[in-house]
Amino acid sequence: MIELFTASTPNGRKVSILLEELGIPYTVYPVDFGKLEQKEEWYLKINPNGRIPAIIDKDNGDFTVFESGAILLYLAEKTGKLLPKDLKEKSVVIQWLMFQMSGLGPMQGQAGVFLKYAPEKIPFAISRYQNETKRIYSVLNRRLGETKYIGGNGFSIADIATWPWINVHEWVEISLDGFPNLKRWEEELAKRPAFIKGKDIPNKVEYKTDEEKIKKKGQSILVK
């Protein structure tokens, strides 16, 4: 049994999608950003970085794991699934996982912050992060012209790490039309039952207006 601390964001969705793919039983603990629960003392014992996602593995002495990439690796190693055994093939998957963690996530995340949450519009910051996100999309698009999946010809945790970010491309006002291989891959994975279910965990939150959404979701980001 895994306890999952998460919120409805791309980094959180990676873990719920993986747990659904693996068919491991898990309990979801939604972390309320509006109440800054992720900064509370009890939660910092689980994730010292004060962010989601994090897991507790109840079957392994209440072992805690934070950082979404580390969680994907831990669960893949634990189950022996979605990560090749061969050293070179495994390294390729890890390379693309690291690329997602250090490139796609941070750049697209900052593009979103400067577009949607910044109290003043800073055109240089918006174009810098949007352009860098587009550059990363083109790297992925090229890769997916050469291999069926991001980590090679087998579906792996590299796909699960990348998909939730590409799935929210509209949030950063980037179209997938210029990235046909990436678009095809995004649409194909979107049909997998585990992606359909995992994407909406915790349950989809309906906001009445964009202002309400920005206020609730942006609040913690703007706290220094």
Contact assessment for residue 184 and residue 190, using Cβ atoms and an 8 Å cutoff: no
Distances in Å between the Cα of 87 and the Cα atoms of 75, 80, 84, 102, 123 are 18, 14, 8, 22, 44
Distances in Å between the Cα of 76 and the Cα atoms of 1, 34, 104, 174, 210 are 15, 32, 21, 31, 37
CB of 153 to ligand GSH, least distance (A): 26
DSSP three-state, residue 101 = helix
Give the residue with the Cβ less far from ligand GSH, 154 or 218: 218
Give the residue with the Cβ less far from ligand GSH, 69 or 151: 69
Q: Which residue is nearest to ligand GSH (CB)?
A: 51
Distances in Å between the Cα of 70 and the Cα atoms of 47, 79, 161, 166 are 12, 14, 11, 20
Give the residue with the Cβ less far from ligand GSH, 11 or 156: 11
Give the residue with the Cβ less far from ligand GSH, 87 or 223: 223
Q: Could you list the residues that contact ligand GSH (CB under 6 A)?
A: 9-11, 33, 38, 50-53, 67-68, 105, 220-221
For β-strands 26-30 and 2-6, DSSP reports them as parallel
CB of 16 to ligand GSH, least distance (A): 13
Q: How deeply is 93 buried, as exposed, middle or buried, from its count of CB atoms within 10 A (0-12, 13-18, 19+)?
A: buried
Give the residue with the Cβ less far from ligand GSH, 49 or 131: 49
CB of 190 to ligand GSH, least distance (A): 19
CB of 106 to ligand GSH, least distance (A): 8
CB of 65 to ligand GSH, least distance (A): 10
